[in-house]
Chains A and B, each alone.
Chain A
Amino acid sequence: MNEAVKEGIKPITSRHDPRFEVTLYRHVGVAGSHTLAFYLAHGGYQAAQKALAIKPGEVISEVKTSGLRGRGGAGFPAGVKWSFMPPVDGRQRFIVCNADESEPGSCKDRYLMEDDPHQLIEGMLIAGYAIQATLGVIYLRGEYYHAYQRLQAAITEARQAGYLGQNALGSGFPFDLILHRGAGAYICGEETALMNSFEGLRANPRLKPPFPAQAGVYGLPTTINNVTTIASVVHIMAKGAAWFAAMGTPDSRGIHHVQLSGPFKRPGVYEVPMGISYREIIFDLGGGPTLPVKAFIPGGTSCPLFPFTDEYLDTPMEYAAVAKQGSMLGTGGIILIPEEKCLVDAMYNVVRFYGHESCGKCTPCREGIATWLPKMYQKLLKGLGEPGDLELMESMVTNMRGTAFCPLADACAMPVQASFKHFRHEYEYLITHKEPMYKRNTWWND
């Protein structure tokens, strides 16, 4: 337990709490913030100095104490992941940053990389030191060209300043970074697919075990973390684990970034303490909906949707609480679905996405998501639905659950199941009336 909690101080679980400060996003949107000069003038690389002066194991335990969990969606405890690395045995070890952000509804990492690339570099250096990996890889999705240019320039600056290289920060620890661009494939966000892609292979996921710590990039010990996870480490080192752990709940500590899309009055990315309620996020930060809303997706399209009711709005943004309600905290991409949007059509959009991004390796995913499920949605939406179709679709998604190699099939099946659970009447209406319950199809402004 961290000191703040032990002393009985109330943890921060609201943006209204005067103790809350925007930290990871403090430079985002600020002119010139991508340069080394700016970063240094605002305390840059001091956290790395601090980290590299203590033992690697001490850095890992600091991160463990902070309670930081993976911010790429899965929420695995970061410090625990780091401790899976085998003992140093002379083989090359890798720290990989998963910057293949492509879950619909998510864009938090893009701004972090465009506007504060040195923060990520500093985080990579600290993470690399903690697990004694002398090479870091940033696997960046190909479409983020602006972020690519910013990161490339920042890496060059950091090398010239001696923050990267044979003697990083003058600590004696050698560390360098490889910036690698993807080329448009959501599956590369899956860590083993990412490693294959980086190695110049087709990005099909690998069988686990062996896990990356045992056999990762080029078969060598590897740890993979999301951009926001890595950037959080900088501040955990700078401000201490207790600072981070004083926010959120025992299950979910620290900060997260919610990305508000759909009909919000104030859409955007907001840094929030864990444990904040969806009501506070949607109404206080996002300004509430601009149209009547019937549902919201709590964390990117792979997270099952919630009806827009008090029960779900009052759920705290916490891994366990969201899971209890049947969904996931995910990447924090919150999408509002307006009342007048045909829910079946909205789900078809989601299914089409996963179908397009299926790598085709496993039968349930290739035949289910990439082939038959979208065809069933098309059939329904064309007014050709028949009795028995819904049961067939339900059996298809049930058979996809847990039967594929990687989580992509589940990422599609779970939201579809949730849409059946909460909005079955819209599917049924479509079959009975041969037309959607909501026909509005104009959403483009001016």
Chain B
Amino acid sequence: MTELPTIKPFFADKQALVQEILGRYPEYGRRSALMPLLWEVQRAERHISLARQAEIAEILGLTLTEVKAVLSFYSTYHEQPVGQYHLQVCATLPCSLAGADELYDFLVEELGIVNGETDRAGRFSLQKVECLGSCTTAPVIQVNDTYYERVTRSRCKQLLAALRQGVLPEPWRERGGDSEGAATSSSGGDL
């Protein structure tokens, strides 16, 4: 039996939220609420501790093992706390062709941490991730939930400077082709 620390249950004062999440799914599909419950904890606490996993298991009538089995399958759930700013660098081919490998090396140099680590102050953590769907606006860094696209060397410095000031900048949403909004009903865009 695993010894779990006694801490205040996360969902104790969030019964309305729990009911809302369970209510999204049919009665017979209650287990579908597992991922959204994990997301709630992770967004609030930047990881999902064993105690929280046990709490979610209790809510859904599952075993701790079943919850952990699902959690550990996915790359964006964390069992250890990530930093206040969790930097996720896409390393897949289109980003790599736009310099993502150098971008990653630059972040390692600047932050003093490597893939999977969090700095001592708990401010920054770094994760190499797979395709983020920003291929036409590569390279991309996702900080927590926010995308920063076309991160050139100078823009990367700019982003780090802002984060070090404790400022999460507005997302850098870059576009290209028809995603720029050039398409009109009468012509085929920029042709």
Contacts and interface: CB of A to CB of B under 8 A. Distances in A.
Contacts of B146: 145
B101 interface: yes
Interface in B129-172: 129-139, 142, 145-147, 152-154, 171
Interface string A1-30: 000000000000001110011100110111
Nearest to B177: A268
Nearest to A101: B133
A341 B31 CA distance: 46
Interface residue range, chain B: 35 or more
Contact of B28 (A15, A141, A178, A218): A218
Contacts of A337: 97
A101 B132 CA distance: 9
A218 B29 CA distance: 7
B176 A267 contact: yes
B103 A197 contact: no
A260 B136 contact: yes
Interface string A430-446: 00000000000111111
Contact of A262 (B94, B147, B185): B94
Contacts of B138: 261
Interface in A188-207: 197-203
B11 interface: no
A21 B188 contact: yes
B99 A443 contact: yes
Contacts of A336: 97
A181 B32 CA distance: 11
A173 B180 CA distance: 37
Contacts of A101: 133
A15 B183 CA distance: 12
Contacts of A28: 178-179, 181, 183
B177 A270 contact: yes
Interface stretch (B1-9, B34-42, B116-124): B34-42
A269 B136 contact: yes
Contact of B183 (A22, A103, A261, A267): A22
B103 A444 contact: yes
Interface in A322-362: 333, 335-338, 341, 346, 349-350, 353, 356-357, 359
Given A135-B26, A442-B102, A443-B97, A356 B130 contact: yes
Interface string A301-314: 10000000000000
B93 A181 contact: no
B32 A266 contact: no
B153 A445 contact: yes
B102 A29 contact: no
B76 A443 contact: no
Contact of A446 (B38, B100, B153): B153
A201 B70 CA distance: 6
A92 interface: yes
Q: Among the interface residues A203, A335, A444, A446, which one has the most CB atoms of the partner chain B within 10 A?
A: A444
Given A15-B188, A184-B75, A103 B131 contact: yes
Contacts of B179: 25, 28-29, 111, 115, 268-269
Given A143-B132, A446-B154, A30 B181 contact: yes
Q: Among the interface residues A26, A335, A445, which one has the most CB atoms of the partner chain B within 10 A?
A: A445
Given A200-B31, A270-B177, A285-B177, A183 B77 contact: yes
Q: Which 3 A-B pairs give the minimum distances between C-beta atoms?
A: A268-B176, A29-B181, A268-B177
16 contacts: A110-B133, A111-B179, A143-B133, A143-B142, A181-B39, A184-B75, A184-B130, A202-B70, A218-B29, A261-B94, A261-B135, A261-B138, A262-B94, A268-B177, A346-B96, A443-B102
Given A21-B186, A104-B130, A143-B129, 13 more contacts: A25-B179, A29-B180, A29-B182, A185-B73, A186-B130, A218-B26, A257-B178, A266-B176, A268-B136, A285-B191, A341-B97, A349-B96, A356-B130
